[in-house]
Amino acid sequence: MIEVEVKAHVNDFNPVKNALAKLDAELIKTELQDDIYFNAPHRDFAKTDEALRIRKVTQPGLENSKYEKLILTYKGAKMDAVSKTRKEIEVEIEDLEKMSSILENIGFIPVANVNKKRVIYHYHSFIISLDEVRDVGTFVEIETEANEGENFEDSVEKIFEIYKKIGITDGFERRSYLELMGIYI
């Protein structure tokens, strides 16, 4: 699967929420995401532009209870010069500590944590996320999926059209939240 994604920094979510309401975008849910990023023992992900993470998802107000889900994600290098489009492989896992231990025992090194509150909307075939990222800032991410080998450039154009509809014409950011934190793994 190819994740076609464009991210933009915003200072205020209120105009975005109002624009999403006018588009009849559907509010899906709010969740907290705690990501643990790992670097590989056999190559430097900072040089290859890859990422490996475990994401713990919980509901706001339930941070100290059992997580809603755990996801192991591999992200390949970015595939174009304007978006964050990349190959993405995800699998749900059952045990954070055991999965972390497996990765560490085969040489992967935990290098950083990214914590965010994400408000998720659905609009046609697109997911629109409003992210408050600790120590980084506030961002809007719009994404959709494409099959490997499929032309994803039309999807990138449609994402930029949605950004125009919600009043965002600048602040686009290709760097990951890790890079924005000054962490290059």
150 domain-assigned: yes
76 domain-assigned: yes
* Residue 66: predicted pLDDT: 66
* Residue 60: predicted pLDDT: 83
Q: How many folded domains does the chain comprise? A: 1
**Positions in the chain short of pLDDT 70:** 62-67, 185
Contact 31, 58 (CB under 8 A): yes
* Residue 65: predicted pLDDT: 62
**d(C-alpha 23, C-alpha 165), whole Å:** 8
143 domain-assigned: yes
Q: Identify the domain containing residue 17 by its residue range.
A: 2-180
Residues 6 or more apart whose Cβ sits within 8 Å of residue 132: 116, 117, 118, 138
Express each pLDDT in 88-129 by its tens digit.
999 999 999 999 999 999 999 999 999 999 999 999 999 999
* Residue 24: predicted pLDDT: 98
| Angle of CA points 75, 47, 152, to nearest 5° | 40
185 domain-assigned: no
The active-site residue, picked from 37, 121, 163, 177, is: 37
**Minimal CA–CA distance to 162: which of 31, 4, 11?**
4
Name the β-bridge partners of 119.
Answer: 30, 130
37 part of the active site: yes
Element (H, E) at 144: strand 137-146
Strands 172-173 and 2-9: what pairing? antiparallel
CA distances from 152 to 24, 114, 129, 138 (A): 25, 27, 20, 26
Residues 6 or more apart whose Cβ sits within 8 Å of residue 154: none
37 domain-assigned: yes
* CATH code, 106: 2.40.320.10
